[in-house]
Homo-oligomer: A and B are copies of this chain.
Amino acid sequence: MAGSTFGERLKMTTFGESHGEAVGVILEGVTPGVELDEAYIQIQMDRRRPGQSSVTTPRKEYDKIRIVSGLFEGKTTGTPLCIMLNNTDMRPSAYDTIKSAYRPGHADFTYEKKYGIRDYRGSGRASGRETAARVAAGAVARRLLERRGVSILAYTTEIGGIRCEQFDVDAIERNAVRACDPEAAVRMIERIERLAEEGDSCGGIVECRISGIAAGLGEPVFDKLDAELAKAMLSVGAIKGIEFGTGFQAASMRGSEHNDQMDAEGFRTNHAGGIIGGISTGADIVFRVVVKPTSSISIPQRTVDVEGNEREIETIGRHDPCICPRVVPVIEAMACMVIEDHYKRQAALHDE
């Protein structure tokens, strides 16, 4: 495949550039006869859209989605579901500097090397705007998972060096950074606002927990469930790493500590993060991803122009000083796609 398609039995193909007419997604393999409406999807879109708070960009993209195909009389038909979002509030003028020079941390240089041509308007296809289409598709997958009793929840655990000390599930959607610790959230927001004033940005960590999942999902050997989740998460532009369960701490653990022993009630610990041998154990799947600091900053940086001449560049325009809060729904969406796809793959294996 050419890289814009993800999944096997539940398969999405996204399209669109940030400053084209629209972005959208085609979702194939949707279970037919399932009740669905635009409002259900819009809830997730609104969690990702900008302008939600002081720490996110004020750009007005309402991300109002519409279902173009695959729905009939309020139910899925099993045919491709096309969901589109028109682009609004485009100001090409704000992006003139990008045309001639490569912004540090952005895909300007690499896209030009890959394609020999580049839609420089707002990063074109490389824009985070593409993830809006993923959130729309993920919302449909979430709808299918609901019927299975699977729930997927992501939240910020660290921003700019500030870590959450507690897990308060109710706090997550009540603070601007979607942190699981309301006190830490206050300090995270202060940190982000100070950096924003300096024209700088910061990174963070987002954790995701998948509950109510069946044991036995995942395809050895290459399509292990953790391998597929890793690909899904690293396919999100700002993500630079992922770890499952105890993750990198396992490097300094002994086998006698790390192994999850069992008793009649099931697993006594979950160091594996819910996946062993690439297959779900039935315990919660837990992983963390690292979110790099937003590349767009207004502090002058050194770069080269398209002719290779050295120059300075300041990214003007409005950007999120920390994208953790807006990445949370994207992480959830990708996880929903992977898990529902593997339920369908398991159904194909045991088919009677």
Contact = CB atoms under 8 A, between A and B. Distances in A.
A278 B201 contact: no
A317 interface: no
Contact of A124 (B33, B79, B235): B79
A13 B26 contact: yes
Given A215-B110, A241-B248, A29 B222 contact: no
A290 interface: yes
A7 to B, nearest CB: 9
A27 to B, nearest CB: 9
Given A16-B82, A347-B348, A106 B276 contact: yes
Contacts of A308: 264
A51 interface: no
A216 B3 CA distance: 14
A278 B216 contact: no
A294 interface: yes
Contacts of A50: none
Interface in A5-56: 5-6, 8-11, 13-17, 20-24, 26, 28-29, 31-33
Contacts of A9: 2, 345, 348-349
Contact of A125 (B76, B125, B221): B221
Interface string A213-251: 011111111111011111111110100111111111011
B160 A222 contact: no
Contact of A277 (B106, B248, B275): B106
B216 A114 contact: yes
B251 A248 contact: no
Given A23-B69, A255-B293, 13 more contacts: A2-B28, A2-B349, A6-B222, A21-B66, A72-B124, A77-B118, A77-B124, A203-B253, A222-B231, A230-B233, A231-B234, A234-B244, A248-B248
A105 B224 contact: no
Contact of A5 (B28, B243, B268): B28
A77 B221 CA distance: 14
